[in-house]
Amino acid sequence: MTETISDRFKKIQDRVAQAAAKFGRSLEDIHILAATKTRTVEEINQAIEAGIVLVGENRVQEATAKFDALLPTRKHFIGHLQTNKVKVAARLCDCIESVDSLRVAQAVDTEAAKLDKKMPILVEVNVGGEDSKFGIPNSDVTDFVKEISSLENISIQGLMTMPPFAEDPNTSRPYFKTMLALYNEFKMLPNVEAKYLSMGTSHDFEVAIEEGSNLIRLGTVLFGLRT
């Protein structure tokens, strides 16, 4: 019998609940986002029908092609965002998780003002200090948040990261601990609305939840291997 997206989502919920309990939380405390890169509208709608309420795209082009055809859901942008794509992302998305520079933050603020909306954003952190990844260095997070907190048409709602990849998910644990410490400092800053610590993917989401994540971004474990 072929396993459906709905079947996988139920298994994910059980795993999330068990991991959350280790941090003194429940399934309801964890936001499960479907990472929909290369997935079809049909697959994404099946996930929404199964109970997914958050979807996230990595590329503006894919978001443009798919978002209008989706069932009602909240839409996040989770990939690297170039300033020349901000206008479209601001129109299509309910949250941008990958703000990683002052230029991008200012561009989001400008486009959100034109749309008469206050755009929720997360600050992307390069927790492992990798040259190959985007994000704010750990040591600069507080100053960066303070720098962009005066922008009137963004709502700074949390932090997001992707730790260095390792086969053993537990290798990510120290990076997640670092992020939780940064998030606890973030929560004390003025002009922020601390909602999300976005970390953990199909490979390591249980470890991320155990270390404080409340927003996980799941692709393969939900949709299955790409064919």
What residues have CB less than 8 Å from 128, skipping those under 6 apart?
A: 163, 164, 175
How high is the pLDDT of residue 225? 84
Angle, alpha carbons 88-63-7 (nearest 5°): 150
How high is the pLDDT of residue 36? 97
Q: What is the pLDDT of residues 9-47, one digit of tens each?
A: 999 999 999 999 988 999 999 999 999 999 999 999 999
How high is the pLDDT of residue 1? 67
How high is the pLDDT of residue 154? 98
CA distances from residue 162 to 34, 42, 84, 125, 184 in whole angstroms, order as listed: 16, 27, 23, 8, 18
Tens-digit pLDDT string for the chain (227 aa): 689 999 999 999 999 999 999 889 999 999 999 999 999 999 999 999 999 999 999 999 999 999 999 999 999 999 999 999 999 999 999 999 999 999 999 999 999 999 999 999 999 999 999 999 999 999 999 999 999 999 999 999 999 999 999 999 999 999 999 999 999 999 999 999 999 999 999 999 999 999 999 999 999 999 998 76
Question: What backbone phi and psi angles, to 5 degrees, belong to 146?
Answer: -60, -40
Q: What is the pTM of this model?
A: 0.96
Return the CATH number of the domain spanning residue range 5-223. 3.20.20.10
What residues have CB less than 8 Å from 182, skipping those under 6 apart?
A: 125, 138, 141, 159
